[in-house]
Amino acid sequence: MRYKKIYLLFLISVVFTGCTRYTYYGAIRAEDSVGEMKQHLIYWTRTERLLWFDECSGTIRLLTEGSLETIPFDETEKGIIFRYIPTHKGVTHPVGIGEACGEILDVKEIKELTEGALRLKIYCTYDSTDFTVGTLSDHAYLKAKDTIYVFDIIRKKSSEFEDGVPKRPE
């Protein structure tokens, strides 16, 4: 009986402490929606457990150097997309592509993403400087274009970053 209790305590401690949080991230230098060359950072986190299922937390985030915008990519039945938000002033949404303003190609769920190449497409553009707060550059993100952006994704323990995530490009 005593050995069963010790074994049970060991098993419980492994299940609850046997996990590591990783941050997956990549950056490219490309034109933003205003037409300026900027650094663009994409990242997400994943908790990997020793004896249980892995989980990804939150969304995939795309940050642009000098911009106040954080572009979230979420899972949908159609895949991982950045949704068109009608209240964003100056954003032009192309007709015929549904709700997506951008999408991550080749995977349907965040848990399928790994290190290596991440392929991303952006559809929505800015066509106005009519903002109530800040300037057009304050709200810029990766420029919409016909070709695909490719980020080289790296995996690091989240503890290697302040606050567990990469720093916003400045």
| Token code pair at residue 15 | 């299940």
DSSP for 55-89? EEEEEEEEEETT---EEEEEEETTEEEEE--TTST
Residue 9: which H helix or E strand, with range? helix 2-17
Which comes out higher in pLDDT, residue 68 or 118? 118
Model pLDDT, residue 154: 95
| Rounded CA separation 163/161 (Å) | 6
Q: What is the pLDDT of residue 105?
A: 95
Q: Which carries the bigger pLDDT value, residue 167 or residue 136?
A: 167
Minimum mean pLDDT among 3-12, 28-37, 109-118, 147-156: which range? 3-12
CA 162-121-74 angle, to 5 degrees, is 55
Q: What are the tens digits of pLDDT across the range 38-91?
A: 999 999 988 877 766 656 656 898 988 988 778 888 888 888 988 766 656 556
Question: Residue 8: phi, psi to the nearest 5?
Answer: -65, -45
More confident residue, 84 or 21: 21
Going by pLDDT thresholds of 50, 70 and 90, the confidence category of residue 131 is very low
pLDDT > 70: percent of the chain? 66
User: Is 17 strand, coil or helix?
Assistant: helix
What is the model's pLDDT at position 69? Answer: 77
Question: What does the pLDDT read at residue 137?
Answer: 61
* pLDDT confidence of residue 12: 54
What type of residue sits at position 138? D
Of 95-104, 106-115, 145-154, where does mean pLDDT reach its minimum? Answer: 95-104
